[in-house]
Amino acid sequence: MKRRQFLGHAIAAPVALASAPSLWAADADRPARILLRSSWQTVNIGDIAHTPGVLALLEQHLPDAEVMLWASGNLTNEVATMEHERFPKLKIVKGSIRSDGSASNADLQAAIEWTDFLLHGSGPSLVAARDVAAFVKHTGKPFGVYGITHGSFLSGDDGDLLSQAEFVFFRDSVSLELAKQHGVKAPVMAFGPDGAFACDLRDEAGATEFLAANDLEEGKFLCCLSRLRYTPYWTIPGSRRKPDPQRIARNEAMKESDHAPIREAIVRVVRETDLKVLLCPEDMTQMAVGKENLYDKLPEDVKPRVVWREDFWLTDLALSVYVRSAGLFGSEMHSPIMAVGNGIPAIVCRFKEQTSKGIMWRDIGLGDWLFDLDIEAEAARVPDAVIAMARDFEAAKAKTEQARQFVRQRQRETMNVVAKAVGVA
């Protein structure tokens, strides 16, 4: 039995449990109210994408529900404006819950009193565990978790809290099994796609202008992303994070071996196909990473057909460029997630520092496009996989569509669980 088929059978039983009525039902005389705790940071377009992705799913599958966003304090006006362009009625609150149960500001206090249900969005862990715990302790209202990784170095001792959830959806099967091993016993525990698969933000005019300015034709280029083992947040202007000598040393030790297969793939794409390659960032540190480890080390005959984006961009522009490409490849996760969610092929390279999130590629049927750079034999196959994708876009797109339909089916099923928990189904 294939992994995706196994997951389909494995989730059937727990999802069926959700047919029981919710213990907390919204007032029948008004729409259900959901407070979405999401928006972790804005230096990474993937972290940004979690929020509009889950908002789009709620809009589609719970159209009568009212939704408010409880964002982290670092949500910028620029990102909030982008989200409001897609969700013009969205109200956003920030803040925290004090030890006495009161909110740190009047808007958050009103939101907590207003809501029927707290939904924790997708992320690398139960990111807002402290906020969720305080909400549960002081309100007694229910909560659920949508699309997280569990058991990584980012996860705390959150097993007891997860067990109190109405449901917990894990974005990779490794996390699901670890949660079971750790004794998490929420009524519904199953695989649920990362919310970023549903992100549909767009900046069409910006994408058209960018392609024209860089002599890129729609469908005639591949996007390439790369990263270091540890994101050097300390290099971002204004960051309060201090340089970590151990992480810097690990990055330096691995950056050549991690980038070599990706660089070889770029060279082969340029020399063996008529496609160009766009080097683009997923976070604010990766423009420099891509230039140093990819562009600057390319042969001189290859560079003229490789475009290096030197500025950071937001999710709407990035996704609008991705959907005009012939595919993505590299060592990032959420740009491929957004690409596949919008029907564009994507090859993912991973390593152990990235947690188990990359396993979701196997879970959705794209295991042939997942490569572990810590395994030499797998890293060596990256260039051939990229060339195969580049040479037969139609076959790659058909393969992508199968995965996309599986993701959409799981989105429908998981949102049905959310609806029941909120009391609207």
**Mean pLDDT in residue range 23-36:** 76
φ/ψ (deg, to 5) at 273: -135, 175
Does 418 have pLDDT greater than 80?
yes
Q: How confident is the model at residue 153 (pLDDT cuts 50, 70, 90)?
A: low
Residue 272: closest CA among 383, 413, 424: 383
The tokens of 401 are what?
A: 């569509």
Which residues are within 8 A (CB) of 425 and not within 5 positions of it... i.e. 6 or more apart?
Answer: 416, 419
pTM of this structure: 0.92
Tokens at 242, concatenated: 């201090």
Domains observed in the chain: 3-199+406-422 (3.40.50.2000), 204-405 (3.40.50.2000)
For residue 289, what are the CA distances in angstroms to 230, 235, 285, 304, 348?
12, 11, 7, 19, 17
Instruction: Identify the helix (H) or strand (E) that includes residue 416.
Output: helix 393-422
Per-residue pLDDT at 19 exceeds 50: no
Tell me the percentage of the chain whose pLDDT exceeds 90. 89
Least confident of 6-15, 247-256, 306-315: 6-15
Q: Model confidence over 293-313: pLDDT tens digits?
A: 999 999 999 999 999 999 999
Report pLDDT digits (tens) over 47-66.
999 999 999 999 999 999 99
Can you give the pLDDT at residue 27? 62
Is the confidence at residue 381, as pLDDT, over 90? Answer: yes
Quote the percentage of the chain above a pLDDT of 70.
92
| Alpha carbons 339 and 129: distance in angstroms, whole number | 29
For residues 358 and 369, the answer to whether their CB atoms sit within 8 Å is: no
Q: How many CA atoms lie within 13 A of 175 on its CB side?
A: 34
Lookup result for tokens 């993937």: 46
| pLDDT confidence of residue 182 | 92
**Mean pLDDT estimate for the chain:** 93
Where is pLDDT greater, at 215 or 6? 215
Tens-digit pLDDT profile for residues 191-224: 999 999 999 999 999 999 999 999 999 999 999 9
pLDDT higher than 60, residue 12: no
Give every strand in the sheet of 66-71, ordered side by side.
91-93, 66-71, 33-38, 117-120, 143-148, 168-170, 189-191
